[in-house]
Chains A and B, each alone.
Chain A
Amino acid sequence: MERTELLIVGAGAAGISAACAAWDAGCRDVLLADRLPYAGGILPQCIHEGFGLSAFGSELTGPAYVERLAEGLAQRGVRFLPGKEVLAVTKEKTAVLSGKGGVEEIRFERLILATGSRERTVGSLSIAGTRPAGIFTAGQAQEMINLHHWRLGSQVVILGSGDMGMILARRFTLEGKQVLAVLEQDAHYGGLARNFHRCIEAYQIPIRYRCTVREIHGMPRITGVTVEALDNGKSEFLPCDTLVTAIGLVPERELIRGFEKEPWLSLAGNCSRVYELADSAAAEGAKVGRYVGKQLVK
């Protein structure tokens, strides 16, 4: 069985930073695995600017930010395994990796989980109505549009005004689509002020506060949603052909279910807690990587 001192699962901002920091702390046996065939996790699809302000001192796009991170990775001797999904870990400190090239078991001394987060989906909201085509999560829509140039729809309603919701609202607008409304249950937008100014205000995208989607209409394709005002219960039918949900992120920890308390395990980045900025996730990744790296060198 192959061995490694440090296995890092997930090569997003946190995972790459952890790998580099562990190396810099003196650990010379670092294996970084990611299920995607490239480094960066979600970042390559984040083609908007706003990354790296604190880490690199300038505002970069997601892909440019990954390039910087990847340069750091290439300068060190970290072994990077793209296209490898970690299927399982065991109490005996082994991990099963699966990819095109094969399935293998690897023994590790320490594990850093840097698997990021996943999106909450519309299914978790139990909204009344139909279950038609034309409903996407924000991350899914972003991947389809930015990495695959697919066209999702023309009349778009976005549920949730976090950063993802606002950035997607602008993205659809730039694609020539009409964003009918960004819906927010709170009385204030959910994301960063700069994203509100750059995405919502700058493009005059309608945002509605204190409201939510109560019912989905249309079958087999979505034809509209019932929007309910939370303060007075008034509802209104809003016709649309696309619904994008940006309703929050859940730390992705399925892999370590049952192992949370193991001394060989550390969490880094969004799988630990959801960060507002990739820089913060990267910084925490570096901190964890440095700490684990030092312990391994001792």
Chain B
Amino acid sequence: MKDLDVVVIGGGLLGCLAARNLCRWNLHIALLEAREDVCTGISRANTAIVYPGYDHKPGTLKSEMCVRANARFDALCQELDVPFSRCGSLMVSFGEKADAVLRKKYENGLLLGVPGLRMLSGEEARKMEPALAEGVSSALYAPTAGTVNPWELGIAACENATANGVELCLNTCVLGIGRTAKGYRIETDQEVFSCRAVVNCSGLSADSVQKLLFPTPVYIAPDAADYLILDKSAENKPAHIIQYEPEDGGKGFNAVPTVEGSLLLGPSERKNEVDFAVSKEGLSFVRERAARVLPGLNLQDTIRSFAAVRPNPQHPDGSSIGSYVIDNPDSGFWSLIGIKTPGLTCADELGRYVADRLAAELCAEERPGFDPHRVGIRRARDLPLSERVVLVQENAAYGEILCHCEGVTKAEILEAIRRGAVSVDGVKRRAGSGMGCCQGSRCERAVMELLAAELGVPVGAVRKDGPGSEILEGSHGKN
């Protein structure tokens, strides 16, 4: 049995950031993740927007957190050495009804203290963002909106948490939770954990994990969504995040110029589906929206489409809830259930919120040696030539380009594996290889060979992402 102060269940973005926030306190912490790597669920696929926070009802925790979280995002990404692009957003309308919706959001944003908001005419919006369609009638400009790669942030937080003493337990699935004199007893398929407190960040399973010991106030009804990615070379990409408020009040649409330089389009929405398979209808929807809002895009520049699943929280009667659910059913047990938009924006604030309260409950003192800084994998492609020359002199593997689309070197891929990547997609999430226009078809073989060599397994055992995703024909692959 492993004895700890706090067990964080779930190694997604929320769990990683919760664990990192708990590190500020002198506590012995474990982070449990059912899969072989962190950030492989909701964090792996979403809209990647850091919202300015004008959308939410004043007086709610969500509205308060979102504005604060947005303001803190530069500092968070600096500490964790993660690229963050504060590119600003334009929410656009195509008619009077939606114009009125934008004005309402604008006024709401002013009430909430969202900085820099401006209402623009269609003409002003097109001046700021020439990629916008002629028909745009007004726009709400939010200069504080931004974008971050969600998995990059989560992985960085996890690395920083483990550097500060958090024990990361991968491939560890929670089976049961019990009450003990000390606090809680967590049974997993690996070992038993005894702890004083539990933080439940288990994403799509957060309600079922809570139900292992307590009733759950909300249920998760997953929604699926589809996205498209256009190559960084695509023309007429917007420089700002573009959000579309439809005149008929229907589902909107986002176009996000990502930190990698590609353009993310989506999502579509499919209610009550827990399905990571892309739907034809969803893709058509995204394409239709993209053509309407950003007519200059050439959708032939698509390099990937993917599906995401979001945890839509509902009351037991099936009605949707308006705000976050941070449940504290008993002392020392905190659950983050149904954290969706703006979940990425608020993930760190939520972690801090729970960590501060737990620290008070546990009478924990601040950890003197807490180091909030994590250094990312050094990327040769970001360096000026003179530094690059020196880097390759120090480490020849920095001279060998393996991912030709993104310019990722062998050294970066080796470092990704050293930092915990156990699959081709794990390498992709850490080093960025395979993100470009060839989608890994040119570097996959080399990445597989490095994974096999570094992990000490035959190449036939190398996986795309998780058990059963062996890329070659099972164990028949050449050693």
List the interface of chain A (C-beta within 8 A of B): 35, 83, 85, 87, 96, 98-105, 118-119, 121-124, 126-134, 136-137, 139-140, 143-144, 148-154, 214-216, 219-221, 241, 254, 257
Chain A residues positioned under 8 Å from B397 (CB to CB): 100
Contact B388 A103 (CB under 8 A): yes
A123 pairs with B459, CB closer than 8 A? no
Chain A residue at smallest Cβ distance from B436: A254
* B385/A103 in contact, CB under 8 A: yes
User: Among the listed B279, B300, B400, B469, which residue makes an inter-chain contact with A99, where contact means beta carbons less than 8 Å apart?
Assistant: B400
Output the least CB separation between A153 and chain B (Å): 5
The minimal Cβ–Cβ distance linking A262 to chain B, given in whole angstroms, is 18
Q: Tell yes or no: B291 within 8 A of A by CB.
A: no
B473 within 8 A of A: yes
Candidate in B437, B438, B445, B465 with the most chain A CB atoms within 10 angstroms: B438
What are 30 of the A-B contact pairs (CB < 8 Å)? A35-B401, A96-B385, A98-B380, A98-B400, A99-B399, A100-B396, A102-B393, A103-B388, A103-B392, A121-B303, A121-B439, A124-B302, A124-B303, A126-B278, A126-B305, A127-B278, A129-B278, A131-B278, A137-B441, A140-B442, A140-B444, A150-B459, A150-B477, A151-B472, A151-B477, A152-B473, A153-B473, A220-B463, A220-B467, A257-B233
Within 8 A of A (CB), among B254-281: 276-280
Using CB atoms, name the residue of chain B closest to A84.
Answer: B399
Q: Which residue of A lies closest to B463 (CB)?
A: A133
A167 vs chain B, min Cβ distance (A): 17
Number of chain B residues close to chain A: CB under 8 A: 53
A140 to B444, CA, bound (A): 9
Residues A130 and B468 in contact in the complex (CB < 8 Å), given A121-B438, A123-B304: no
When the two chains form their complex, are residues A104 and B389 in contact, meaning their CB atoms are under 8 A apart? yes
CB-nearest residue of chain A relative to B409?
Answer: A98
**In the bound complex, what is the Cα–Cα distance between A122 and B472 (angstroms)?**
18
Task: Given A126-B228, A126-B283, A128-B277, answer yes or no on A136-B468 (Cβ-Cβ < 8 Å).
Answer: no
Of A126, A139, A151, most B-chain CB atoms within 10 Å: A126
- Using A100-B396, A221-B470 as known contacts, say yes or no to A129 and B277 having CB atoms under 8 A apart: yes
Q: Which residues of B contact A121 (CB under 8 A)?
A: 303, 437-439, 441
Chain A residue at minimum C-beta to C-beta distance from B391: A103
Closest chain-A Cβ to B318's Cβ sits at a distance in Å of 28
Query: Which residues on the B side are within 8 Å of A151 (C-beta)?
Result: 460, 472-473, 476-478
B407 in the interface (beta carbon within 8 A) = yes
* Most chain A CB inside 10 Å of its own CB: which residue of B393, B439, B465: B439
In the complex, whether B471 has a CB less than 8 A from a CB of chain A is: yes
Nearest chain A CB to B324 CB, angstrom units: 30
Q: List the 3 shortest-distance A-B pairs measured between CB atoms, nearest first.
A: A220-B469, A133-B464, A123-B304
